[in-house]
Chains A and B, each alone.
Chain A
Amino acid sequence: MTLNKLLPLLIVLSALLPGLLIFCTGEQRLWLRRILNLGGNLSCLTLIALLLHGVYNSEVFETRLPLLPGMDLVLHADALSLLFVTLSGLLWFLTTLYAIGYLEATQNRSRFFGFFSLCVAATLGIALAGNLITFLIFYELLTLTTYPLVVHKGNAASLRAGRIYLTYTMTGGALLLAGVVWLKALAGPLDFTATGILAGMPHLDPGHLKVIFALIITGLGVKAALVPLHGWLPAAMAAPAPVSALLHAVAVVKAGAFGIIRVVYDVYGIEFARDLGLTIVLAGIAAFTIVYGSVRALFQDDLKRRLAFSTVSQVSYIALGTAIAGPIATIGGMVHLVHQGLMKITLFFCAGNLAETLGIHKVSEMNGVGRRMPLTMSAFTIAALGMIGLPPVAGFVSKWYLGAGALEVEAYWVLIILAASSVLNALYFLPVLHAAWFRPPNPTWVPKQSVMETPWLLLIPPVMTAALALATGVFAGVFSSPLSWAELIAAREYGQKLVHTIDLAAISLPQLGWLVITPLLLAVGLLIPSARRLCISIAPWAALPALLAALLSSPTSNTLPGVFFGSVLKLDQTSQVVLLLAASLWLITGVYGKGYLADHKHLRRYTLCYLLCMAGSFGLTLSQDLFGFISFFTLMSFAAYGLVVHSGTPEAMRAGKTYMQWVIIGEVLLFAALLGLSTSGGGNTLGDIEIGAQPLWVSWLLILGFGIKAGLLATHFWLPRAHPVAPVPASAILSGLMVKAGLIGWWRFLPLGEVSLVDAGLTLLSLGMCGAILAVIVGLTQNNPKTLLAYSTISQMGILASGVGAGLVEPKLWPALSSALLLYAVHHGLSKAALFLSVGLTPTSVDKPGLSGLFWGIILIPVLAMIGLPFTSGALAKTALKMSVAETTTLLQLLPLATIGTTLLMLRFVDLLRQTNRPATTISSGDRLQYLGYVILVLLVISVTYWIPQAEIFIEHTFSYSAVSNSLMLPAAGVLIFLVIRNYLAQTKPVPAGDAIVIIEKFCDRLKKAADNLQGSFKIDMNFPGKSVGRISTMLPGTRLEQRLLLQCQPGVVFIAIFVCLAFMIAFN
C-alpha cells in the first residue's frame, strides 16, 4: 500500500487511536491526556493538509478494505469530502481546546475525551466514506459515540435527552439501513460517483427508487433535524457546551446534511432526482423546517434552546440548496455546510462561556453582558449577524448563492423563504444583541479576575471561529475559501468546467482599499486596552485618506479578486464628489464630536460605531460590485444603530427599535433585488451586469429597498424618530450623509439613462414630491428643532427622489439630471449637517454682543443656503435641478412650492432655536473644537458646490437674472406666509415623530395583546418530546402474562399445540 491508499484511513485513525488511548489514561493524568488529544488533533490536521495538497495536484486517495463479497469499505477523498474533512478537523481542534478549558476539574474526563475523539473519528469517516455502506457504518458509529457525550452529565435532563436522542437516531438508522439495503439489492455496491450512480441505470423502477429515497432521506433527516424529525435536537441541549457545539456545528446534524448531499448528488444524481420529482419534496420540507425552526426559536428564553432551534432552521439551508437542484444553489448549500458550522460553533462556545463565567443561561439574563465579556460577545455578535445573513459575514454568502440558485431555476418561492427566515433570524438574534450591548449590566456578576474576561482556553476558540466566519465571508473569492471549493464541487457534480483563473498576486492591497481599512483598523485598535485612548483621539482623522483621495486622486479603479466574490473599488468623477462630501462630513463631525462628547460615557462604543459607519460609507461609495456594496451598506446601517441609541434614553431605545426594524426590512428587500440583478444581469460587478436587463420586480424592490434608507415617503417612518435622538454630530452624519446611501443605490442599480420605466419612475416621482410637501407640513408643527430638521431631510430627499424618478421616466434627461442631483445632494448634505451641528452649539458670552451676533451670523448661513438665496449652494443646486428637468415632467412644477416649504421650515427652525433656553457661556476647549468644525463646514457650504466639476455648466445660469429673482421671490413669499402662520404654529400640538408609524404601532400592540389572550385560552404545547419508551410496558404486561400463559397453564400444552401445528403443516404437503 502506498501512502495514497493509506492516507484516508490514517486520517480516521488519527482521531480514533487517541480516543482509544485516552480511555486508558487515568482520570488524573491531565497532561498525558492533553498531549494525546492535541497530538491527535495536530496529526489529523497535518494529514488533512497533505490530503488537500494531494487532491489539489489531482492525486487519487482511496482506502479500500474488503467487507463483504462484492462490497468494500471504501474511504475516498474527493473535493466534497475534503470540504467536510477540513471543517471537522479544524473545528475538532478548536473544540478540544475549548473542552479542555470547559471541563477543568470535572469528573469522567477520560471518558468524555475518549468519546469525543471517537465521535470525530466517526465524522471523519462519514466525510471520507466512498460508498453508501461505508457511510452508513460511520453514520451509526456516530450515533453510538455521541450518546455518552449527550448523557455525560448524568442528571435526569441529560439522561432524558440521551433517551430521546437514541430513540430518534436509532429509528432513523433503521430506516436508512432499509433504504440502503434495498438500493444495494437493486443497484450493486453503491460507490459514490460525481454524477450519480442511479442516473446511469435506466432499467430501475422509478417507484422503488422513490420509496428508497423516502426511506434514506427520512433516515438522514433525523440527524439533519428536518421537521418533524428534529425533536431530539432541542432536548440534546442538556449536554455540556462543547458537545452541543460539536453536535450542532460539526458532527451530528452535519452528518445528516452531508448525507443528504451525498445521496442526492452522488447516488441518485441531481438531474435524475429532479426528473423523479424528488427534489421538490425535499425542498418543501427543508423550507418548512427553515421557517418552523426560526419561529420556534423566537419563543425560547433559554439561550441554548434558542440556538438549537436556530440550528434546526439553519441546517435545512443545506438541504434546501441541495434540493433546489441548480449548480449555484448547490454551491450555496455546500458552502453553508462550512459556514453554518463556523457560525454555530461560535454561538455555542459563547453560550458556554456565558454559562461558565457568569451563570447566564437565559436570554433575559443577558442584559449588558457585552460590557462584562466584550470579546465573547463580539464573537457572538459576528456569528449572530452571520446567521441572519448579513454581509460580509459568511452566512450571507450562502444565502446569496441559495437565492441566486433559486432564481436560476426560477423557484421564486425560495426567495420568500429566505427573506422570511432572515427576518425571523433577526427577530430572535437582534434582541439578544441589543440586550447584551445596550442595556445596563447586572451588578451581581463576578467581576473580572484578570485582564481576561474568562479563561483563555474558553476565549480563544470562539474568537477564532468568529474570525474565520468573518474571513470566509470577506475573502469568499480567495482560491482556498470554502466557496471556491464548493464551486469546484458543483462544477464536478454538473459535469461542467468552472475555470478558476485567480491571480494570487493580485491580492496585494490596492490603494483604494486603504480608505476603508483605515477606519476599520482604528476600530480594531479600540479593542486593545492600551491603544484605546489613542484610537479614540485620532478617530476623526481616519477620514483623512478618503479626503485626500477625493481631492487629489485622479479617477482610478482597483480590483480585489480575493475579497467578496471579486470586489471592485472604483473612484470615478461621481464617486469622487460623494467621497468628498463623505470624507469632509466625517472629519468635521468627528472633530465636532470630540468637543461635544468630551466627557460623555460610553465613548468607546460611540467611537467604534462611528468608525464602522465611516468605513461603510466610504466602502459603499467606492464599491462597484453587488457584494461589496451591500456589505458596506449593511455595515453602515447596523453600526448606525449604535449612534442612534447612544444616549440610552427610552426614547432613543424606541427610535433604535424602529430604525432596526426598517433596516432589516430594507436589507431583505435589497437582498432579493440585488440577487435578481446578479442573476438576470449575469455578473456580480457593475462592469459585468447589464443594468438595463433587470426584470421589473427588481426595479421595484430597488426603489423600495433604497427608499427606506433615503426616507422615501411611506418608508420614512424611522427617520424622524432616529435622527433627532442621536447625539448632534451623529444626527448630522445621519441626515447629511447616510440618507444619501439610498440615493447612491438608486444611482448605481436602477437603469437610469438606459431604459424608461414609466410606472416605477412616476411612482418614485410622485412619492418624492408628496413627501417633499407633506414633510414640510408635519415638520412645521414640531417644536424640537432636530425633529424639524429630520422632516426637512425627508422633504429634501423627496426632491432628490423625484429627480431620480424623472430620470427613470425620461432616460434622455439623465446625463444632465445626474449632475444636478449630485450637486443637490452635496448641497443638502453639507447644509443639513451644518444645521444639525448648529443645534449643538452654545451661544457665546452675552456680555460681548459682537460675539453673540457672530454666533447667530454663522448659524444663519446654512439656513440661507437651504432656502436657496442667491449665491449660496442652494441656489446653484436648485437652478441646476430646474434646468435639467426642463419642464418635461409636470410634477416637478411643484418645485417652487417645495422651496416655499423649505423657507417656512427654516424660519420655524430659527424661531425654535431662538426660543430654546440656552445659557450663553464662555467658550471652553470643548466648545472650541465644536466651533472649529462648524466653521469649516459653513465655509464648505458656501464654497464647495462651486468647485465641483459637474457644477460648471450650471454656474452661469445661477447668476442669470431670472434665477436670482426666482431665488429671491420664492423665499420672500415663504417669509410672508410664515409671518401669518407663526403664532398659529406656536400653539399647535406637534405631530408625533414618525407620524403614521404611531398608528401602526398602536394597532400592532392591540394585535399582540389579542394574540396573547388567544394564546392564553388555547395553549398549544408545541413541544415534541420523545415518547417515553417505558410507556410500552403498560400496554403489554411482560413476563407476568408469559408466566400465566406458559408456566402456570402447562408449558406442555403449548408444546403439544406447536407439535400438532407443525405436523399439520408438514402433512399439508
Chain B
Amino acid sequence: MIPLGSVNIVLPLLVGIPLLAAIATTVVDSRRWRAGISVTFASLQLLLIVLWLVTLQHTGADAAYRYVLGGWNSPLGINLVADGLAKVLLLITAVLVLVLSIYSAIYFTDPAKTTRFWPLWWLLVTGLNAAFIGADAFNIYVALEMIGLAAVALVGLAGTRTALTAALRYALVGLLGSLCYLLGVSLLYRTYGTLDLAQLATETQADPMTAASLCLISIGLLLKTALLPLHFWLPPAHASAPAPVSAALSALVVKVSFYLLMRFWLDVLTPATTELAMNLLGILGAGAIFWGCIAAFRAQRLKLVVAYSTVAQLGYMFLLFPLVAASHSPSSITGAAAAAVVYFIVAHALAKAAMFLAAGNIQMFNNHDTVDKLQGLARTQPLAVLTFAIAGVSLIGLPPSGGFIAKWLLLNVAIGNGVWWWAIVVLGGGLLAAAYIGRVLHVAFSHPVAQTIDTDNANAARHPPGGMVLCALALAACSILLGFNAEWILNLLDASVEPPIPGVGGMQ
C-alpha cells in the first residue's frame, strides 16, 4: 500500500531493538553492563521514535504506516503498521521504558536478580511494541503471550510467597484470556479467511460467527485488562511485584489489551458490536471506578492502594464505549471520545508509574508500606511524598495535569453528547480518588508516633538512592507538564477533539 520509505524501517527496528537488548543482556555477564546496555538501548529506542515522529510531522505523510517484513505480504508474512493511536502508545512506552530502565538499573542490586530481570524486561518491551504495531490478529496473539509470560515472570521475581502466588494466578488468567482471544481469532479466520486487521475491517459483517468471535476476543481481553469484576488478579500481582515492574504493569501492560479492545470494537469488528454491549462495558467501567476507589481507600498497604487505583482508572477507559455509542460518529477510533481516552491512557501511564515508583521508594525507606504506619513521612521522605501527591493530582484529575486534560476531554464528550450521567461518574470518581490520595497524604503529614519500627526492620531500611527518587519525580513532573499543552499529543493522534455542534446531541 505504501512504498517502502526510509522512515518505514523504524517499525521493524522497534521490535528489533528491544529484542536485541534482550539478547545482549542475556549474553553479558555483569550487572553494570546489563544496566548500561539497557539504558543505552532504551535511550536509542526513545530517540528513534522521537526522530521518527518529528520527521513524520514535517513530511506530513499519511497517518498509517505499514511495513511488510521480508517482503512477505499478509496473510503469510508479518506486517507492521502504525497509525496515530499506535504512535502515541509507542511514544509513551518508549518514555516509560527509558525511565523505568534507569530506575531498575539502580533498584536491582542483586546480581542474580538482574540476570533474570533484564532479558525478561526487554522481552516485555518487545511484546509491547509488537502488540502496538502488529497488523494481524495472530501476531498480536504472539505479542500478547510474550507480554503475559514476561510479566508473570517479572512479578515472580520478587520471590515472596505472595508474589509467586499472585504471579501464578496472573499466569493462569493470562493463558485463559489469550486462549479465548485465540479461539476468537481462529473463528474470524475461519469466516473471512484473513487475519489482517485492515482487511478484516473492510469485510466484517454482523453475522453470528463474527459476533461469537467478538465475544471471545472481548472476554479474553477484558480478563487481561482487569475490568471489574474480572480484576481480582490485578491488585495482588501489581502490588507484590518489584516497584519498576509494578509501574510497567499498571502503566503499560494492561493498556495493551485495552488498546486491542479499542481496535476490535471501534475499528475491526464494528458491525458486530451493539450499543447495548457498549453500555454494558461502560457500566462495568463505572462500577470499576467506584469499587476501585473504595477498595483503594480501604487498602492497608500503599502499593495495594496504588494497584486498586489502577482498577479504578481502568474503569474510566471503558467509558469510551458508551461515549462512542452515544456520539454516533462513523469514524469512532479517531473520534473525540477515543482521543479523550488515549489522552487518559497517557496521563494515567505517567502518573501511575510515578506513583508506583514513589511507593517503591517509600517501601524501601521504611521497609514496609503499611499505610497507617507512615506517619511523618512528609518530613523524612519529602520528595517521595511530593511525587506521590503530584501523581495523585493527575489521577484525581486536578489541574494542571494530564489527568485534568483527559478528564476535561471525557467530560466534554459526555456533556457534548448529552449523556451527562457519565459526566457524573467521571466527577464522582475524581472525588473518590481524592479520598484515597488524601488518606495517604493525611498520614504522611501527621506527626510520627513513637517509633514503631522494630530493630530488625530498622536495619533493613535504607534511603533510596537519589536516582530512584529523581526518576519518580521526573515522571510525576511529566504528568504535570502533560497538562500544559495537550495539542501535540492530540495532533499525533490525528484525532479531532472539537465537541459536536451544540444541538446535535441531547442538549436540546
Contact = CB atoms under 8 A, between A and B. Distances in A.
Tell me if chains A and B make direct contact, with any CB pair below 8 A: yes
B37 interface: no
Contacts, number: 187
A143 B233 CA distance: 36
Interface in A128-153: 133, 136-138, 140-141, 143-144, 147-148, 151
8 contacts: A65-B484, A137-B400, A162-B445, A178-B423, A1029-B439, A1061-B280, A1062-B277, A1065-B274
B222 A1058 contact: yes
Contacts of B273: 1066
Interface stretch (A166-174, A867-875, A876-884, A921-929): A166-174
A68 B490 contact: yes
Interface in B264-295: 272-274, 276-277, 280, 284, 291, 294-295
Given A162-B442, A174-B431, A1038-B297, A68 B405 contact: yes
B113 interface: no
Interface stretch (B67-75, B86-94, B130-138, B205-213): B205-213
Contacts of A1045: 229
Given A137-B399, A1029-B439, A1069-B274, A181 B408 contact: yes
Interface string A53-67: 000000000000111
A69 interface: yes
B299 A1038 contact: yes
B32 interface: no
Contacts of A1058: 219, 222, 229-230, 284
Contact of A1068 (B274, B415, B508): B274
A377 to B, nearest CB: 34
Contacts of B299: 1038-1039
Interface stretch (A90-98, A892-900, A1046-1054): A1046-1054
Contact of A185 (B206, B277, B412): B412
B396 interface: yes
Interface in A51-88: 65-70, 73
A1059 B438 contact: no
B274 to A, nearest CB: 5
Nearest to A133: B408
A67 B484 contact: yes
B486 interface: yes
B277 A1042 contact: no
B277 A1055 contact: no
B180 to A, nearest CB: 8
A174 B399 CA distance: 11
B274 A1051 contact: no
Contact of B484 (A73, A175, A208): A73
A170 B497 contact: no
B218 interface: yes
Given A163-B438, A173-B398, A1058-B222, A1033 B297 contact: yes
A186 interface: yes
A108 interface: yes
A1036 interface: yes
B502 interface: yes
Nearest to A1043: B232
A70 B378 CA distance: 40
Contacts of A69: 487, 490, 496-498
Given A67-B485, A1051-B230, A1068-B276, A147 B294 contact: no
B214 interface: yes
Nearest to A155: B447
A430 B498 CA distance: 58
A344 interface: no
Given A68-B486, A163-B438, A1047 B208 contact: no
Interface of A: 23, 65-70, 73, 107-108, 111, 133, 136-138, 140-141, 143-144, 147-148, 151, 154-156, 159, 162-163, 166-167, 170-171, 173-175, 177-178, 181-182, 184-186, 205, 208, 1029, 1032-1033, 1036, 1038-1039, 1042, 1045-1047, 1051, 1054-1055, 1058-1059, 1061-1063, 1065-1069
B294 A1036 contact: yes
Nearest to A147: B441
A545 to B, nearest CB: 61
B232 A1062 contact: no
B211 A1042 contact: no
Interface in B488-503: 490, 496-499, 502
Contacts of B170: none
B439 A1039 contact: no
Contacts of A162: 442, 445
A67 B487 contact: yes
Given A67-B487, A205-B508, A174 B430 contact: yes
A1066 B215 contact: yes
A1038 B435 CA distance: 14
Contacts of B446: 154-156, 159
B215 A1059 contact: yes
Contacts of A208: 507
Interface residues of B, number: 77
Contacts of B445: 148, 151, 154, 159, 162
B415 A181 contact: yes
Contacts of B423: 178, 181-182
Nearest to A143: B398
A144 B280 contact: no
Contacts of B439: 1029
B442 A1038 contact: no
Given A170-B431, A1042-B295, A111 B382 contact: yes
Contacts of B284: 1058
Contacts of B294: 1032, 1036, 1038
Which of B233, B386, B439, B445 is packed against the most chain A CB atoms within 10 Å? B445
Contacts of B223: 1055
Contacts of B441: 147
A66 B379 CA distance: 37
Contacts of B298: 1033, 1038-1039
Contacts of B206: 1069
A562 B137 CA distance: 81
A353 B431 CA distance: 37
Nearest to A1052: B176
A170 to B, nearest CB: 4
Interface string B220-260: 00110000011011000000000000000000000000000
A1061 B287 CA distance: 16
Nearest to B437: A166
A1029 B415 contact: no
B432 to A, nearest CB: 9
A166 B434 contact: yes
B504 to A, nearest CB: 11
Contacts of A133: 408
B431 A1042 contact: no
Given A1038-B298, A1066-B211, 14 more contacts: A67-B485, A68-B486, A111-B382, A140-B399, A148-B445, A178-B411, A1032-B297, A1038-B297, A1054-B230, A1058-B222, A1066-B215, A1067-B208, A1067-B215, A1069-B211
A73 B508 CA distance: 29
A1036 B295 CA distance: 9
B409 interface: yes
A648 B393 CA distance: 59
Which of A69, A108, A1066 is packed against the most chain B CB atoms within 10 Å? A1066
A66 B398 contact: no
A39 B233 CA distance: 54
Contacts of A140: 398-399, 404
Contacts of B435: 1029, 1032
Contacts of B411: 177-178, 181
A144 B398 contact: yes
Interface string B359-390: 00000000000000000101100100010010
Contacts of B44: none
A222 to B, nearest CB: 13
Contacts of B409: 68
A1046 B212 contact: no
